[in-house]
Structure 1
Amino acid sequence: MYAERQPADLLAALPDGGGLAEGPWLVRWDAVAGKAEDLVMTALPPVVELSTSGSTGAQRTWARTREQLWAEAGLLAGLLGPDRPEAVLSFAPPRHLYGLLVSVLVPARLGLPVWYRSQYGPMPPEDAARRWAVTAIPWTFSLLLQRRSWVRAAERVSVLHSTAMLPATAGELVVSAGADRLTVTEIFGSTETGGVATRRWAPGNPPWELFPDVTFADPRATGEAPLTVRGPRLARSAGGDPLTTWQLDDHVEILDERRFRFAGRRSRLVNVNGRRLNLDELETSVRAALPCADLALVPVRDPVIGEHFDLLLVPGEAARAGSFDVRAAFAETGVRPRRLRLVDRIDRSETGKLRRLRDADAPDETA
C-alpha cells in the first residue's frame, strides 16, 4: 500500500530523507496547483547539503541553493512535459541530488501526483494514470521487464534515467514495450554539477547535448578530453565558495560547442596490453553470460603490464564455485580478467553504483 503524504510533510522531511527512501508513498502535487513553488521555497533551507555516492572516492558533501534546485527541476520537467504525463512513478531515493529532484521537485514543477516506490513494494494501480513519467535508476528496467503488463496497460511511459551507465535491460524494455509506447531520456551529470547534458536513448552511442545553461569550460576544445563545464547550477563545497568550473571524472569526445560523445569514466578506463577498455561497457557485455547474483569489474595495477582488471563475482543459487565459464563469457570481447574473486557481496550505493569490495579476504580463482 502507498501511504499518502501531504506535500508540506514531505518537504519537512528533507533534505536528509528522514526515512523517505523506504517508501512506498504517494504525494498529490496536483492538489496544490499554483502553490508548489511557495511551498518549496518556504520549506527548504536556503542552502541544501547533499553527499556524493562514494563511487569514485570518499563521500563528500556539496551545497547548492534552493533556487538552483528549483531551476534544475524545471529543466528536467521540461524534458518530460511534451509527453503530457498524468502521474510520476519514481524509484530514486530522495536523500541524494537526483532523487531529491525527480522524486520531489520535478513532480512539484509538473503539478502531478508522484508515486515513490523503493525496491520492494507494489506497483501503482494500472488505472491510476494512462500516461506515466517514470524516473529511474539502473535496476528499474529489470523490474519493469518483470511487470510488462503494467507497462502495456499504459498509453505512454516516458522514462528519465540518471546516476549510472544505462543497463542493457533498458534497450530490452524499449523493444518489449515498443518505441511508440516507451522512451528513455538519459541525464548526464554529478552531485557537483547537477545535470550537464541529456539525450534520447537509441542503439549505439548517440551524442549528448548540453543543457541550455551549461557550456564547456573551453568552448573551442575538440577531440577527446576530460569533461569540464561551466554553469549557474554548480555546487559549492560545504562552507566554501561556489564553483566556477568543474572537471568531471569522465572522458568525452567533444563534437562541437554543444555536443559530445561519452568515452568512459576516468576511473573505469584501463589500458590492457595497448587496448583501452571501458569497464562499464565490458561489464554489461559479460553480465548475461555468467549466472550469478552480482558481478563487477574493478581496475587493478599489474606488476608486469601496468593496468588490468579483476572480476568480482557473487555466486547465485543456480551457480557454485568452479562452475563459472569465464573464458566463454569473455570470448567475444577478446580479453579476460586477470583473476576471478568470489565474494559474498559487492558494496554498492543505493542506486547501484560500485563503491568498494567489502570482503577483502575473499578467495581467488584463476580466470
Structure 2
Amino acid sequence: MSDPAGGTPRGTGGFPARAPEELLAAGFDALADRPWSARWDEVADVERLVLGSLPDTVVLHTSGTTGERRAWPRTREQLWAEAGLLADLLRPYRPEAAVSFAPPRHLYGALVSVLVPARLGVRAWYRPGFFGALPPVAGLRVAVMAVPWTFRLLLEHPAWVDSAADLTVLHSTAVLPASAEEFRVATGGARIVEVFGSTETGGIAHRRWRGGNPLWELFPDVTAVAGGDGEVPLEVRSPRLAGGARSLRTDDFVELVDDRRFRFGGRRGRLVKVNGRRLNLDELEVALQGAVRCADLALVPVADPLVGEHVDLHLVPVPGEDPDLAAAFDLIGLRPRRVLRVGRIDRTETGKMRRVGS
C-alpha cells in the first residue's frame, strides 16, 4: 500500500511510464497484470492515434461468471464512441487525472483504464490489485475508475482521498457493495457515478448514486424495446452492440418508467422465490455485508427438494471471530438453507462470483 498512514506516496515509483502508442500496440489483455502510467495529456491528436493504432476489430470476452467465456467482437469505432459517452459523464467534474483499478482485458477496464483517459486527455495510472502503491494525486481533480473492492481500498486510505482537490468514482461491473455506502458516508457524500451494461451490450444506462435504488437513464444512443407492463426482461437497441447485433435481450429485469428511464429489478439467476417471497440476492448480499463482520460472503441459489428454490450462504470468516448470523438473518428476513464456511470465494478480477454448482 502507499504508507502506514494511508497517505500519498512520494514520487511515481511502482507505476512505470508507458507511451500511449505503446499501450495501444500491446493490446488490452497485455495491460492487465502490472501497474503502469500514461500521459494522454501530452498527445496532440489522440483520436488519430487511437483509431490508427487499434485493429479494425477488437475481441473482448465475458468473465465466465454464468457459464463459458464467450468472445464478443467490436469495431474500434464502437469502442471509441463508448469511451466518449463515459468521458462525457465525467467532464462536468473537470478531471485532471484518472486512477483505474479495472483490468483492461475486460470491456469496462479497456474503456476506463485506457480509452476514457485518452478521451479526456488526462494523465492515467493503472493498478491491478488491492495491494501496492497509490499514485501521487495531491491537488488534482481525480476520476477513480472502480470495481467493487475499490471502495474498501479507498476507505483504508483516507489521507490519499483527502489529498485530491476533487474526486469522482465511476463504477460498473456489479452491484455496488456495502463499502460504497460506507465510503459515501465517511466522505460526507462522495460523488459516485454508476454505469449499467454488459460485455455484449456495452454501456446501456447511467445514474448518479446517492444511496438507495435511483432510476437509470439510458445513454443517448440506446433505446429500450418495450416489453409490457411491470418487470420485463430488458431488451435494447444501440449502434454499440457487439457482433453487429441490431438488438439484444439482457439477463436483467427492469420496470420501464418512461422511454428513457427504468428501475432495475434484478438479474436472472440472482432472483429466486423462497416460500413465495421473491428475493434479489444481490441486494441481500449488500445488506449482509453491512451486518456481518467477515472477509467475504456470497448468497448462492440452490435447488431444494422441499420448497423448490433456496439459497446457501458461503462465508469467509475473519480468523478468531464468530459473527452473529442470527441477527443478520433477522435483518434480511431470510435464513439460508445452509451456511458454508469456506477459505475463499472464487471471484473474477472485477469482483463477480464465479459460477457455483448447487
Give the residue type in structure 1 aligned to 2:338: R
Q: Say whether residues 1:232 and 2:232 are aligned partners.
A: no
| CA offsets 1:295-317 (integer angstroms, 9 cap, x no match) | 11000111111111001122332
**CA separation in 2, counterparts of 1:174 and 1:340?**
30
**CA separation in 1, counterparts of 2:265 and 2:132?**
36
**Aligned residue in 1 for 2:181:** 171
Match of 2:197, SS state, is strand
1:217 deviation in Å? 1.8
Please say if residues 88 and 114 of structure 1, whose CA atoms lie closer than 8 Å, have aligned partners that are also in contact. yes
Q: Say whether residues 1:331 and 2:330 are aligned partners.
A: yes
CA RMSD of aligned residues (A): 1.5
| CA offsets 1:230-286 (integer angstroms, 9 cap, x no match) | 0100001xxxxx211111111111101110001111110110111111111111111
Please say if residues 80 and 115 of structure 2, whose CA atoms lie closer than 8 Å, have aligned partners that are also in contact. yes
Match of 1:135, SS state, is strand
Match of 1:63, SS state, is strand
1:1-367 equivalence runs, <5 A: 1-15=14-28, 17-18=29-30, 20-33=31-44, 35-119=45-129, 120-127=131-138, 129-179=139-189, 182-218=190-226, 221-236=228-243, 242-319=244-321, 323-357=322-356
> More deviation in 196-205 or 336-345?
336-345
**Aligned residue in 2 for 1:365:** none
Match of 1:286, SS state, is helix
**CA separation in 1, counterparts of 2:285 and 2:250?**
22
1:7 deviation in Å? 0.3
Greater relative CO (CA pairs within 8 A, separation 6+): 2
**CA separation in 2, counterparts of 1:102 and 1:299?**
32
Please say if residues 24 and 121 of structure 1, whose CA atoms lie closer than 8 Å, have aligned partners that are also in contact. no
**CA separation in 2, counterparts of 1:175 and 1:332?**
21
**CA separation in 2, counterparts of 1:29 and 1:332?**
48
**CA separation in 2, counterparts of 1:61 and 1:204?**
34
1:156 deviation in Å? 1.0
Give the residue type in structure 1 aligned to 2:235: T
Match of 1:54, SS state, is coil
Q: How many residues are paired up? A: 344
Q: 1:172 to 1:290 in 2, by over 3 A?
A: closer
**CA separation in 1, counterparts of 2:196 and 2:353?**
18
Match of 2:109, SS state, is helix
Instruction: Give structure 1 stretches of 5+ with no counterpart.
Output: 237-241, 361-367
> More deviation in 108-117 or 290-299?
290-299
Please say if residues 178 and 289 of structure 2, whose CA atoms lie closer than 8 Å, have aligned partners that are also in contact. no
| CA offsets 1:30-49 (integer angstroms, 9 cap, x no match) | 1113x211111121110000
1:333 deviation in Å? 1.6
1:324 deviation in Å? 4.4
Please say if residues 346 and 356 of structure 1, whose CA atoms lie closer than 8 Å, have aligned partners that are also in contact. no
| CA offsets 1:201-256 (integer angstroms, 9 cap, x no match) | 022211000000000122x74421011100100001xxxxx211111111111101
Please say if residues 98 and 145 of structure 2, whose CA atoms lie closer than 8 Å, have aligned partners that are also in contact. yes
Query: Identity percentage over the alignment?
Result: 60
| CA offsets 1:178-199 (integer angstroms, 9 cap, x no match) | 23xx300000000000000000
1:318 deviation in Å? 3.0
Q: TM-score if structure 2 supplies the norm length?
A: 0.93
Instruction: Give structure 2 stretches of 5+ with no counterpart.
Output: 1-13
Please say if residues 223 and 255 of structure 1, whose CA atoms lie closer than 8 Å, have aligned partners that are also in contact. no
Q: Which runs of structure 1 show a deviation greater than 4 angstroms over 4 or more consecutive aligned residues?
A: none
Match of 2:327, SS state, is helix
**CA separation in 2, counterparts of 1:357 and 1:341?**
13
Give the residue type in structure 2 aligned to 1:191: T
Give the residue type in structure 1 aligned to 2:325: V
Please say if residues 67 and 355 of structure 2, whose CA atoms lie closer than 8 Å, have aligned partners that are also in contact. no
**CA separation in 2, counterparts of 1:294 and 1:156?**
30
Q: TM-score if structure 1 supplies the norm length?
A: 0.90
Give the residue type in structure 2 aligned to 1:80: L
1:154 deviation in Å? 1.7
